[in-house]
Chains A and B, each alone.
Chain A
Amino acid sequence: MGPAKRHHHSIFCILPPHLLEAIMKNGSDDQRRAAAQTLRSAAAMRIARAAAHERLRALAPAASTGAPHKKRVIFNAAHTEKIPGARARAEGQGPTGDAAVDEAYEGLGATFDLYWDVWKRDSVDGAGMELDATVHYGKDYDNAYWNGERMIFGDGDGRLFNRFTIAVDVIGHELTHGVTGHTANLDYNGQSGALNESVSDVFGSLVKQYAASPRQSAAQADWLIGEGLLLPGVKGVALRSMKAPGTAYDDPVLGRDPQPAHMKDYVTTTDDDGGVHINSGIPNNAFARLAISFGGYSWEKAGQIWYRTLTDARLAAASQFADFARLTVVNAFQLYGAEGKQAATDAWSQVGIQVT
């Protein structure tokens, strides 16, 4: 390795990962090789992530005292994989008649409203960040994801999956990845990754319950994630069930919903970033149980405990299920006394996690 290459490498070490990734995409061959080398260095990535995250956390207010900044912009990728695509609808503009554009716009609004109305959180970053989404991404694209900055929605293949904007909880799920990125920043792997996924399902489901007309109580909610996404002919009702993990679908093509509801069925795998979409069933079920045991609306008590935990500085990025559970019990006690503490302890115990 020549001196020039070492020089590159030392510069890249202090660059945040998103810049490295931009270089991976747009840099010259030499730059890309050096950036790739740096990205492979897990230690450097962790340091950069932690430093960036600490800055974000220090900057972001927990709750706003001013007016909300609801700024939505929906882009249309027109069935390409080019991001962001053409502007299709911006804040304040009327419906376009394009279902994916309008559903994304409404879903972003519903998610913003839940976080603002209930926790006075001003957007994803707590500081009025613009909410961007790209729809009609790719051809027959069966996915929705958060790329670190925006939501991206495919239209589905028309055979197994419908368009991904059809379920408001999926939109709430994706935006919550942004909230988590600005708060606990849970590592997207293994148990901390399953917690990251579960937090997105929890707040995604709360968006659905809050946006329903009339609003749904915990007892009335279906606790399904992605209802309406599976097309007729597919044997299933949704992608996940928080109330009954493992029962959302059982289909010859998709296979059987692999989510466990209890620690005794925890799945150890290297697929799916260590089973982040599989083992999230366990904390999902703890939340649904707690919300149902409290009664009333889920955001009134159980949601308060979860939000307080997600934004609690004691929640480390590498938290495991037991760490998260312990902190929810601490916060349940602070918010609702001995009764709240007991309810949270019981909910976790029912999924096989004992908080002592």
Chain B
Amino acid sequence: MRIQFETLGGFAYFPGLQRPIHIDTERLTGLQAAELESMVRAAHFFDQSDSIRPSGAADYRCYRITVEDGGRSHTVQVVESAADQSLLALLAYLRTLGPEGPS
């Protein structure tokens, strides 16, 4: 499973902070890979709407996540305040991974 994760938006636009994080579960430890894959499943990632935007809100951060798995690929772009709990858990885990991925 391969995941690309980007943080977009916010109070200001910083070009240097727009780099996506790439994660390949084959390069993680067995435990980390299993944890990440179970979070993707728990979030029903491939059934998530591809874009969720709030109305009347501003300066919010937005996350763009692409998951490739077994020939499938799906991208979800979600505003932080509009995400459900399981997707928030996945987002929180992805955010702990530095730009170079987990060590």
Q: How many B residues face the partner with a CB closer than 8 A?
A: 28
Tell me, in angstroms, the Cα distance from A258 to B17 when the chains sit together: 12
Contacts of B11 in A (CB 8 A): 143-145, 164, 170, 173, 226, 239, 277
A-binding residues in B (CB < 8 A):
8-18, 49, 51-61, 80-82, 84, 88
The reply to whether B16 and A253 contact each other, CB–CB distance below 8 Å, is yes
Select A254's contact among B16, B55, B80, B84, beta carbons within 8 Å: B16
With A148-B57, A272-B8 already in contact, 20 other A-B pairs whose C-beta atoms are closer than 8 Å:
A21-B54, A24-B84, A25-B82, A32-B84, A81-B80, A145-B59, A145-B61, A148-B54, A164-B11, A170-B11, A177-B57, A197-B58, A255-B14, A255-B15, A255-B17, A271-B13, A273-B9, A275-B13, A277-B11, A278-B13
Chain A residues contacting B80 (CB-CB under 8 Å) are 81
Q: Which of A81, A164, A173, A181 meets B56, CB within 8 Å? A: A181
The digit string for A10-38, where 1 denotes a CB below 8 A from any CB of B, is 00000001100100110000001000100
Q: Which of B14, B17, B49, B51 has the largest count of A CB atoms less than 10 A from its CB?
A: B14
When C-beta atoms are compared, the residue in chain B nearest to A236 turns out to be B14
Find out whether the CB atom of B54 lies under 8 angstroms from the CB atom of A147: yes
Chain A 311-341 interface residues, beta-carbon cutoff 8 Å to B: none
> In the complex, which residues of chain B have a beta carbon less than 8 angstroms from the beta carbon of A185?
56
The complex places the Cα of A255 from the Cα of B17 at a distance, in Å, of 8
Kindly identify, within residues 231 to 252 of chain A, every residue whose CB is under 8 Å from any CB belonging to chain B. Answer: 239-240, 251-252
The answer to whether the Cβ of A39 comes within 8 Å of any Cβ in the partner chain is: yes
Beyond A21-B82, A145-B61, A253-B16, is A45–B8 a contact (Cβ under 8 Å)? no
Q: Residues of A at under 8 Å CB distance from B? A: 17-18, 21, 24-25, 32, 36, 39-40, 45, 49, 81, 83, 142-149, 164, 170, 173-174, 177, 181, 185, 188, 196-197, 200, 226, 239-240, 251-256, 258, 271-273, 275, 277-278
